[in-house]
Amino acid sequence: MTLTLTELYDKIAERYDPDIVLELLDISTEELLFAFPDKVEKYRYKFDMCDEENYYENNEQGEEA
């Protein structure tokens, strides 16, 4: 029996890590961002506060950048 597209989506979502899905589908960061402009705009403040040099270091310690 062949899965419907919705069933396939559900199986992929429950079995694979999101990063692996992006890699397997060869989806770039740009493609991902352009696919969800409303969410990018809604949550832009999360990116605006990122200091590229120490954002990840501080987040690992539970501090704000």
Domain tally for the chain?
Answer: 1
Residue 65 domain-assigned (yes or no)? no
Q: Output the pLDDT for position 29.
A: 94
In this prediction the pTM is 0.63
Residue 37 domain-assigned (yes or no)? yes
User: What domain range is 12 assigned to?
Assistant: 5-60
Residue 40 domain-assigned (yes or no)? yes
CB distance 50 to 65 below 8 Å: yes
pLDDT tens sequence across 50-61: 666 555 665 555
